[in-house]
Amino acid sequence: MLEYQKDKEEIIREFGTSWKGHSEEQAKEARKKYGSNELVELKKKTVVQIFLEQFKDFLVIILIISAIIAAFLGDLESSIVIGVVITMNAILGTVQQKKAEKSLNSLKQLAAPIAKVIRNGETVLLPSKEVVVGDIVMLEAGDYICADGRILDNASMKVNESALTGESISVEKEDITVEKEVPLGDQKNMVFQGSYVTYGRATFLVTRVGMMTEVGKIANLLNNATEKKTPLQKNLDDFGKKLSILILIICAIVFGISMFRGEAVVDAFLFAVALAVAAIPEALSSIVTIVLAFGTQKMAKEHAIVRKLQAVEGLGSVSVICSDKTGTLTQNKMTVMNYYVNNNDYNKDILDNGRLVEKLDNKLILYSVLCNDSTNKGGVEIGDPTEVALCNFAKTFRMDITKTRETYTRVAEIPFDSDRKLMSTVNMISSEKRMITKGAVDVLLDRLNYIETEAGVVNITSADKQRIQLANLQYSEDGLRVLAIAYKTLDNASVSLDDENDLIFLGLIAMMDPPREESKEAVRKCIEAGIRPIMITGDHKITAAAIAKEIGILTEGTIAVEGSAIDELDDEELKTFVEQVSVYARVSPEHKIRIVKAWQDKGNVVAMTGDGVNDAPALKQADVGVAMGITGTEVSKDAAAMVLTDDNFATIVKAVENGRNVYLNIKKAIKFLLSGNMAAIWAVMYASIMALPVPFAPVHLLFINLLTDSLPAIALGLDPHTDLVMKDKPRRANESILTKNFLIDILEEGFVIACMTMTAYYFGYQVDAATASTMAFATLCLSRLVHGFNCKSDRAILFSKRIVDNKFLWGAFGLGFLLINGVLLIPGLASVFKVTALTVTQLLLIYGLSLVNLFIIQLIKWIKN
Ligand code: ATP
């Protein structure tokens, strides 16, 4: 017999557990016996593999071939030096890649999925991979199912099994035994790893984990997903390719000229290749990865976990942030302030006496605790803050909640969902099956036929409804969140959505959820940074508007609307409409998608928050989907590009600031690399045209490009962040990093460095060609190291603190300085690196010219600004 054909008790016995779940000891044994809940991942690359991959680059291969040819032709020294330089470059590349990988992996750990497991009768939250066979796992809407298993207890659960069956419509689950042998899709009492709960709740017994699960069997298919390149990386790859072609043409010309002048073919070829290596910025894409990876580490410390590297870039250009209200802009700590029964309003001051005024009060509070899933375990409040607030309220009247719930047992339920905005339970009260429904006032009002007052249950009149609406309006205007409570008696214990009608109104409960202290400042910062903050909430329009006004989102000239207001608009009309709306209330997930799309169609980059299972499509649609780490469902986290560990709006704004800084730093690194390469090209072209001896030996160019250059580039990528980035408008979504001004700067700064280099060359040339080459090489190398400081800013910073604030840059400079001086001064290295001994004056001249380069470029920046 198969698992789904067995009866619950039988299967619990078979897996050696009980309704209270495993003890820790049993869990350990189960892990030993059945293995752990992990899908075997494709083997990670070893360090050696990563190291070898560094040699896969087209130019490096040509270089190796050239070195081999040189060795054959007797120039063993050159080939050894090339070998050493390439190897050191590969080591550097491997270390960087490993570091980036490590930081990305630690992020993955932070974002690992969680399961609610019953162990020893207690509910514990465990990383999904620690779940073992025989565990009892609780599921609710928005949870990913962490293993395969048999449902023990089911409350209207619906599951999306599309990952397994391809069927995107949710299937209803049951907890009864299936008699016949049936295919997977019909195993109604089973759940499967990789599917997720779209509705309702259930508990299930884990029967298979890891590679034994249905998904595990097809896991090899899933393993093939590779990390995609970010738009910036693609943009740079594309640019790199075009640039390479241009450079190769230049190299071919230089090669031709050398041949024409009668140089040996091998020498001319080696030089042309070295020039290509020096000029083609093949490290760009990997530097971007490294800087992005380090950026994500900083963001994780600041409560934003980036799940997709693209998000960092996206964040840098975000121009609209659509945020939930409850918990993101507000504290999600609710306190009941008022309630309404028997056509009267009672406020907190009266309640503070700890005394109930009306006899119906008791009933209202009792029902609010019964139609409620929140609990308190050892002082820790668990559950929806709205429901926690109701329990806390009941406690001020000394109600024992556990006892109350035991007395009036729950026999059925329809869980809350944010589309319906209602929740119902059926409890046994005075041997009657009492259905209690609580939810949004506007939704419930249409479903009322009766009202209970002191006079008893009577038909509800339109005057009653008006009074209720007025009370609702008054509470909402104070920014309170209002719930209505109603009930009716049922004939049987089962309950369906159709039963949520023909109800008896009991009362309203209004609670306060104050804005987070930092929300106001974060909104101000957003607006200053040219970013439009928008509130999108499931709550009531007036409540939402009151809060939005308080924190500065709803401003003069903008309006609050209900989600239904956009139903009548077509996509074109919506595009103009969204401009004026700052608050959307009572929205459904479909509205969210339309709002994101409308803003995107207007050329904006949109960040959007979401927490529910239905928010996943909107999160995917947004350029930066943001999920809530604390209150968000696993499904929303999975769909999001970023997860907030503190659910805080201010964290999104901080992440945008980080995104902008990371982008800026990448730009600095790119400018550094390209302008330095440009300098080498200018110098070589000049020498070629003027028929001078070539200013650099191949090994010089390799030394600079593969060794002393990459560290300052990374250091610039780690340049200290500044909040000045939030004073600018967001960059346009499709704006290339390589704007006209940026390219002009590169040509210009490269030109200045080349001038210094050729000046040194001319001084050396007074002595001989070898001295000229040595001086040109040393000046180019040092000038580029110094140039790192120029690349820190578009402004002149020579006399500001900014020149000293990057310790990595100083470190890179120090190391580069030692290396080049080592080459120049250690006698044994002279012939290896094709340099000659210099006099003190020549050496000082080199230092001086490198510094002059700093002053000139700073002066140009100063004049330009
Ligand atoms: P946001 O979308 O900003 O997070 P929200 O939390 O108010 O806002 P929902 O959780 O979708 O959005 O709630 C929508 C409405 O449903 C609320 O305004 C409230 O009237 C009602 N509601 C919320 N929680 C419950 C609950 N536990 N039981 C019954 N009704 C609820």
Q: Which of 330, 436, 483 to mutate to test the pocket of ligand 1 (most atoms within 8 A of CB)?
A: 483
| Domain match, 151 and 177 both | yes
CB 183 within 8 A of CB 2: no
Q: Does some domain include residue 692?
A: no
| Domain match, 422 and 496 both | yes
| Residue 658 Cα to ligand 1 middle (Å) | 32
Angle (CA) 837 842 845, round 5°: 145
pLDDT, position 352:
56
| Domain match, 504 and 637 both | no
Q: Which of 323, 369, 416, 582 to mutate to test the pocket of ligand 1 (most atoms within 8 A of CB)?
A: 416
Ligand 1 within 6 A of 540 CB?
yes
| Residue 335 Cα to ligand 1 middle (Å) | 15
Q: Does some domain include residue 340?
A: yes
Q: Does some domain include residue 353?
A: yes
Ligand 1 within 6 A of 472 CB?
no
Residue nearest to atom 30 of ligand 1 (CA): 439
Mean per-residue pLDDT, 651-656: 96
Mean per-residue pLDDT, 152-175: 84
Of 654, 615, 617, 656, which is closest to residue 632 (Cα–Cα)? 615
Report the CATH number that the domain containing residue 545 is assigned in CATH: 3.40.50.1000
| Domain match, 489 and 555 both | no
The residue that leads in pLDDT, 8 or 535, is 535
Instruction: State yes or no: pLDDT of 745 exceeds 60.
Output: yes
Instruction: For residue 184, name the pLDDT band (cuts at 50, 70, 90).
Output: confident
Residue 329 alpha carbon, nearest atom of ligand 1: 3
CA distance 565 to 317: 29
CA distance 366 to 360: 10
Report the CATH number that the domain containing residue 176 is assigned in CATH: 2.70.150.10
Q: How do residues 769-828 score in pLDDT, each as one tens digit?
A: 999 999 999 999 999 999 999 999 988 888 888 888 999 999 999 999 999 999 999 988
CA distance 731 to 316: 8
Instruction: State yes or no: pLDDT of 10 exceeds 60.
Output: yes
Residue nearest to atom 19 of ligand 1 (CA): 440
| Residue 330 Cα to ligand 1 middle (Å) | 13
Mean per-residue pLDDT, 30-56: 81
Residues present in the chain in total: 865
pLDDT, position 357:
56
| Domain match, 346 and 471 both | yes
| Domain match, 318 and 206 both | no
Residue 387 alpha carbon, nearest atom of ligand 1: 27
Ligand 1 within 6 A of 416 CB?
yes
Residue 327 alpha carbon, nearest atom of ligand 1: 4
Q: Which of 326, 476, 583 to mutate to test the pocket of ligand 1 (most atoms within 8 A of CB)?
A: 326
Residue nearest to atom 9 of ligand 1 (CA): 538
pLDDT, position 224:
42
| Domain match, 607 and 629 both | yes
Q: How do residues 105-130 score in pLDDT, each as one tens digit?
A: 777 777 678 899 999 988 888 988 89
Q: What percent of the chain has pLDDT over 70?
A: 96
pLDDT, position 65:
82
CA distance 758 to 770: 14
Q: Does some domain include residue 700?
A: no
Q: Which of 418, 442, 587 to mutate to test the pocket of ligand 1 (most atoms within 8 A of CB)?
A: 418
Q: How do residues 609-620 score in pLDDT, each as one tens digit?
A: 998 888 888 998
Instruction: State yes or no: pLDDT of 379 exceeds 80.
Output: no
Environment class of 567 (CB within 10 Å of its CB; exposed 0-12, middle 13-18, buried 19+): exposed
Ligand 1 within 6 A of 438 CB?
yes
| Residue 384 Cα to ligand 1 middle (Å) | 9
Instruction: State yes or no: pLDDT of 187 exceeds 60.
Output: yes
Ligand 1 within 6 A of 476 CB?
no
Residue 384 alpha carbon, nearest atom of ligand 1: 27
* 389 Cβ contact partners less than 8 Å away, ≥ 6 residues apart: 334, 335, 336, 511
Report the CATH number that the domain containing residue 418 is assigned in CATH: 3.40.1110.10
Strand stretches in 634-697, DSSP E = 642-644
**Domain end point (choices 630, 654, 678):** 654
**498 is known as an active-site residue:** no
Ligand 1 within 6 A of 151 CB?
no
Residue nearest to atom 17 of ligand 1 (CA): 539
Domain tally, the chain: 3
**Residue for token digits 């009980």?**
18
**Domain end point (choices 212, 245, 270):** 212
Ligand 1 within 6 A of 608 CB?
no
CA distance 463 to 452: 14
Q: Does some domain include residue 622?
A: yes
Of 690, 678, 632, 644, which is closest to residue 784 (Cα–Cα)? 678
Q: What are the tokens at 323?
A: 């945020």
Ligand 1 within 6 A of 440 CB?
yes
pLDDT, position 593:
92
Instruction: State yes or no: pLDDT of 482 exceeds 80.
Output: yes
DSSP code per residue over 152-201: EEEEEEEEE-HHHH---S-EE---SPP-S---GGG-TTEE-TT-EEEEEE
Ligand 1 within 6 A of 421 CB?
yes
Q: How do residues 301-333 score in pLDDT, each as one tens digit?
A: 999 999 888 888 889 899 999 999 999 999 988
CA distance 198 to 200: 7
Instruction: State yes or no: pLDDT of 222 exceeds 60.
Output: no
Ligand 1 within 6 A of 765 CB?
no
CA distance 608 to 535: 10
Q: Does some domain include residue 362?
A: yes
Mean per-residue pLDDT, 201-219: 85
Residue 438 alpha carbon, nearest atom of ligand 1: 29
Instruction: State yes or no: pLDDT of 226 exceeds 50.
Output: no
**Range in 219-228, 643-652, 777-786 with the lowest mean pLDDT:** 219-228
Given the residues 135, 143, 148, 324, select the one marked as catalytic: 324
Residue nearest to atom 2 of ligand 1 (CA): 537
Mean per-residue pLDDT, 734-751: 88
Ligand 1 within 6 A of 543 CB?
no
| Residue 594 Cα to ligand 1 middle (Å) | 21
| Residue 541 Cα to ligand 1 middle (Å) | 12
- Residue-wise over 826-839: b if at least 16 C-beta within 10 A, else e? eeeebeebbbbebe
Residue 586 alpha carbon, nearest atom of ligand 1: 14
Of 588, 574, 659, which is closest to residue 617 (Cα–Cα)? 588
Q: What percent of the chain has pLDDT over 90?
A: 50
Residue nearest to atom 29 of ligand 1 (CA): 439
**DSSP assigned state of 553:** S
The residue that leads in pLDDT, 40 or 333, is 333
Task: Put residue 300 in one of left, alpha, beta given phi > 0 → left and psi -120 to 50 → alpha.
Answer: alpha
Residue 418 alpha carbon, nearest atom of ligand 1: 11
Ligand 1 within 6 A of 790 CB?
no
Instruction: State yes or no: pLDDT of 706 exceeds 80.
Output: no
| Domain match, 498 and 361 both | yes
Range of the domain at 19: 3-34+110-212
CA distance 415 to 586: 19
Residue nearest to atom 31 of ligand 1 (CA): 439
Q: Does some domain include residue 476?
A: yes
Q: What are the tokens at 828?
A: 């044994």
| Residue 444 Cα to ligand 1 middle (Å) | 13
Instruction: For residue 211, name the pLDDT band (cuts at 50, 70, 90).
Output: confident
Ligand 1 within 6 A of 326 CB?
yes
Q: Does some domain include residue 194?
A: yes
Instruction: State yes or no: pLDDT of 228 exceeds 70.
Output: no
Distances (CA, A) of 364 to 34, 390, 405, 485, 500: 50, 10, 15, 7, 18
The residue that leads in pLDDT, 227 or 651, is 651
| Residue 539 Cα to ligand 1 middle (Å) | 6
| Domain match, 480 and 548 both | no
Q: What is the overall mean pLDDT for the chain?
A: 88
Q: How do residues 537-579 score in pLDDT, each as one tens digit?
A: 989 999 999 999 999 999 999 999 999 999 999 999 999 999 9
Ligand 1 within 6 A of 439 CB?
yes
Q: How do residues 259-293 score in pLDDT, each as one tens digit?
A: 888 878 877 877 787 788 778 776 777 788 888 88
pLDDT, position 693:
83
Rounded to two decimals, the pTM is 0.83
Residue 481 alpha carbon, nearest atom of ligand 1: 18
**Domain end point (choices 512, 545, 577):** 512
Instruction: State yes or no: pLDDT of 353 exceeds 70.
Output: no
| Residue 151 Cα to ligand 1 middle (Å) | 28
Residue nearest to atom 4 of ligand 1 (CA): 326
| Domain match, 361 and 485 both | yes
| Domain match, 364 and 427 both | yes
**Range in 65-74, 579-588, 632-641 with the lowest mean pLDDT:** 65-74
Residue 439 alpha carbon, nearest atom of ligand 1: 30
pLDDT, position 833:
85
Instruction: State yes or no: pLDDT of 475 exceeds 90.
Output: yes
Instruction: State yes or no: pLDDT of 74 exceeds 80.
Output: no
Instruction: State yes or no: pLDDT of 198 exceeds 60.
Output: yes
| Domain match, 319 and 391 both | no
Ligand 1 within 6 A of 538 CB?
yes
